[in-house]
Amino acid sequence: MTMSNHGGDCCKSGPGYATPLLAMSGLRENLIYVAAIYTGTGQDKPDYLATVDVDPSSSTYSSVIHRLSMPFLGDELHHSGWNSCSSCHSDPSCERRYLILPSLLSGRIYVVDTKTNPKEPSLHRVVEPAEVLEKTGLAYPHQPHCLASGDLLVSCLGDKDGNAGGSGFLLLDSEFNVKRRWEKEGSSPLFGYDFWYQPRHETMISTSWGAPAAFTKGFDLKDVSDGLYGKLLHVYSWPEGELKQILDLGDNGLLPLEIRFLHDPTKATGFTGCALSSTIVRFFKNEDETWSHEVAISVKPLKVENWILPEMPGLITDFLISLDDRFLYFSNWLHGDIRQYNIEDPKNPVLTGQLHVGGLVQKGSHVFALGEEDETFQFDVPMIKDQRLRGGPQMFQLSLDGNRLYVTNSLFSVWDKQFYPELVEKGSHMLQIDVDTDKGGLSINPNFFVDFGFEPDGPSLAHEMRYPGGDCTSDIWV
C-alpha cells in the first residue's frame, strides 16, 4: 500500500487516510456520535443523534453535549455510515461531511451535516421510503457504505411487507438521490444485513439476519427452524453486482450479522460474527477464485437455571478488527463479556483478553450458570461510578490507535425489551475499555460512563457509534 501525494501536496488528498496503518497515527478522537433510540420503548419521542464528549481534558468529558432529534416518530435508528471515507482518499474533490442514518423500521434515510458544526450536527436531507420503494422495491434500510465513485450503497433487509426475499442493495448518488438497485437482476440476496467489499479482489460479501416480518416481533426460536433467519454469505462480483456464490454456513453459522475483511486491501480473507451459533467464521479465497469458510472461534453455551432455555448462547452481536489487523474484538450480548483475540495468524486466533461488563448471569441476577459438576456460579461485573451495569455489551467502536474500545448495550428495541427489559426501563449506558495492544488485555476506564437513563426526554437506548473522522468499521481501503 502506497500513499498518493496528489502532485506532492498531501493537503489536496480526499477524506480519510491512504492506508490503515497511517490511520492509526491519526488524531485522537474527541467526539463520538451515538444513535439513540426511543422507538419501541413506549416513549412517544423521536430517535436522536447524541454527540458525546470523549476528550479527557474537556470539562464535559463523558457526557452528551448535543442531541439532534429526528423530525418523525417510529424510525428505529440503527447503523450508520459516511458519505465519503478512505475509499475516496485519492479524490481531492470528496469530503467526509455527511453521516448517513438509515431508519430500520420507518425506512427513512437521514443525511446529517457534521462538518458545519461537529459538536452540533444538523439535518441536511431525508430520503423518503416511498421514493425508495417506488424505484427499487426495497425497505428496511440498514448498513450504508461509501464507494470510491462517490455513490453510496445501503443494504436493505426486505420488501415493504417484511419478506426477506425482497432484500437487496440501494444505490444513492453523491447528492443522495435514488439511482437504482445495485445488484444485477436475479442476483438479490436471500437475506440481508451487513456487507463489506474488497476491490483488489473484485469481491463484495454480504450477510444474513432474517426476515423483518420475523425479527421485528421479537426473537422466536421457531422462526429459525421455519427458515425465517439466515445462515448464508452472499459473494458478489465487485463492482458489477453479480451474485457469484452462496456460502451456506450451516448450524455453525446461524444469523451471521457483522462482516469485516481484513483492512489490508491486499488480503483475501475476513470474518463474520454468527450470533445464534456464537461463532466467528473466517472466509477466504481459494486458488480457483472461489470462496470457502471455516469456524475460527466458537463460544460454548452456558448451562443455566431460571432462564427460558436450559442453555444460553453467548450471542455474538458485534465485532471489529483493529486497523493493523492484529486484534479482533467481539461482544457476547447474553453472557455479558467482551473478548480480544490476536489474529496475526487469521487461521488460529488466540484469546488475549476477556472482560465481563454485564450480561444475564452477573452477580445479583436471578439467572445462574452451572459448572461441570452442576455447581452454580455468576460472573463478577464491576460497578462504574456507583452504577450497576445493565444489559450486555453490544456495539463497539475502537480508537484509531487501537487503545480505547467504546461499548454500548442496545441491540434492537424489541429484542432489548425481550431479553433485557431493564434496559428499556432504565436506559442504556456507554463504557470505555482500555486495551493493552502489547501483550493483550482489557480493563474498564472507571472515569468514563455515559448514562442514557438520565436523558432530558427520559431513558433511551444507545446503539452504533461513529467518530467525525472515520473509524475501523466505516472506512474501506481500495
pTM over 0.75: yes
CA angle, 237 as apex, 180 and 328 as ends, to 5°? 105
Q: Which 3 state secondary structure label does DSSP give 462?
A: strand
Percentage helix, strand, coil for the chain under 3-state DSSP, each rounded to 5: 10, 40, 50
The pLDDT of residue 9: 33
Task: State how far the Cα of 229 lies from the Cα of 224, in Å rounded to an integer.
Answer: 5
Q: Could you tell me the three cell numbers for 86? A: 478512505
The answer to whether the bond into 239 is cis (omega within 30° of 0) is yes
Over its C-alpha atoms, the chain yields an Rg (Å, rounded) of 21
The pLDDT of residue 2: 33
Task: List the domain boundaries for the chain.
Answer: 20-466
H helices of 137-238, in order, are 212-215, 221-225
- In what helix (H) or strand (E) does residue 413 lie, and over which residues does it extend? helix 413-419
The pLDDT of residue 4: 32
H helices of 313-364, in order, are none
The pLDDT of residue 11: 46
Q: Which 3 state secondary structure label does DSSP give 128?
A: coil
Strand order through the sheet with 168-172:
139-146, 152-158, 168-172, 178-181
Q: Could you tell me the three cell numbers for 339? A: 473478548
Strand partners, 101: 110
> Which residue in this structure is represented by grid cell 502532485?
7
Strand partners, 270: 261, 283
DSSP state of 301: P
> Which residue in this structure is represented by grid cell 453510496?
152
> Which residue in this structure is represented by grid cell 479527557?
56
Given a contact cutoff of 8 angstroms between Cβ atoms, the answer to whether 79 and 412 are in contact is no
For the chain, residues with pLDDT lower than 70 are: 1-12
Task: State how far the Cα of 34 lies from the Cα of 77, in Å rounded to an integer.
Answer: 10
The pLDDT of residue 12: 67
CA proximity to 402, closest of 368, 350, 440: 440
Q: With the C-alpha atoms ordered 224, 308, 463, 317, is the resulting torsion angle positive or negative?
A: negative
- In what helix (H) or strand (E) does residue 369 lie, and over which residues does it extend? strand 368-370
List phi, psi (to 5°) of 273. -100, 120
The pLDDT of residue 6: 29
Give the CA distances from residue 333 to residues 89, 244, 395, 420, in Å, rounded to whole numbers and listed in that order: 35, 33, 9, 10
Burial 354-365 (b: 16+ CB within 10 A, else e): ebbbbbbbbeeb
Given a contact cutoff of 8 angstroms between Cβ atoms, the answer to whether 427 and 436 are in contact is no
Task: State how far the Cα of 466 lies from the Cα of 81, in Å rounded to an integer.
Answer: 8
Superfamily of domain 20-466: YVTN repeat-like/Quinoprotein amine dehydrogenase (2.130.10.10)
Give the CA distances from residue 420 to residues 112, 282, 333, in Å, rounded to whole numbers and listed in that order: 30, 30, 10
